Amino acid sequence: MCDTWPSTRPAASAARGATTSSIRRSTETPPRYGSRRCARRRAWASPGSTRPAVEFLGALGDTKDLTVLENSISRRELARAAIAGLGALGSVAAIPILIRAMADPELAGPAGKAFVRISGADGIEAGDPPLPDPAAARVWWDREHGRFDRGGRWQCGRDVSKAPLGENFDTLTLASRLDVYLGARARDPRQTPDRELERSSVLRQG
């Protein structure tokens, strides 16, 4: 039986300014796939149920799942979810995988988005209409990779591994904030603040 998620409501307030659909995604996905064991178990089941599970593996932020996500790209019905999961995972080990995926016209867009999500890169598009270009991405990465710690979790070019909810949190995109917060709650629910409860307490005191 899959583990239950320690708390799902906090993601709503963690994603300040989130849309209703974004909040719904962050609060509905964890109960179904809220543990690494559960998400991995579903990663090779029927495609309709596994796409959210595959993507959610990335949100959990465990680099042990890199191979599962990489292998899922070979299944066309899971490829986009797996690439999105690699972006959420934030490991620099995913960068070569994403650059290779950019060579596939059907996956170039998602792979470029995931590459930028990790690295914060710009100027990697080419052509008309512009699409992420693997050669440009490789040039950018060869130039910049030295500042990326291989042990970090990178989102928008910032390492969030040591302090997921620290000073970098508010500078991230909405998608990154949701996944970084959910990953922190999954790994250490006792030490990760329950923002929804904190907000409710402040409102009651006011």
* DSSP secondary structure of 152-172: S-EETTEE-SS-TTSTTGGGS
pLDDT score recorded for residue 83? 97
Model confidence pLDDT, tens digit, residues 12-55: 344 433 333 443 344 344 444 445 556 555 555 544 547 888 88
Contacts of 69 (CB under 8 A, 6+ apart): 54, 57, 58, 82, 85, 86, 89, 94
d(CA 64, CA 52): 18
What residues form DSSP beta bridges with 125?
A: 132
Nearest alpha carbon to residue 185 among 14, 50, 2? 14
For the segment 114-123, the average pLDDT, to the nearest whole number, is 96
Structure tokens at 86: 């690699």
pLDDT score recorded for residue 23? 35
For the segment 105-120, the average pLDDT, to the nearest whole number, is 96
Q: Where are the domains of the chain?
A: 10-200
Model confidence pLDDT, tens digit, residues 167-179: 889 899 999 998 9
Model confidence pLDDT, tens digit, residues 145-188: 999 999 999 999 999 998 988 888 989 999 999 899 988 888 77
Q: Decide if 78 contacts 51 (C-beta within 8 A).
A: yes
pLDDT score recorded for residue 108? 96
Q: Write down the pTM of the prediction.
A: 0.74
Report CA dihedral (165, 34, 58, 176) to the nearest 10 degrees. -40
pLDDT score recorded for residue 1? 35
What architecture is the 10-200 domain classified under in CATH? Alpha Horseshoe (1.25)
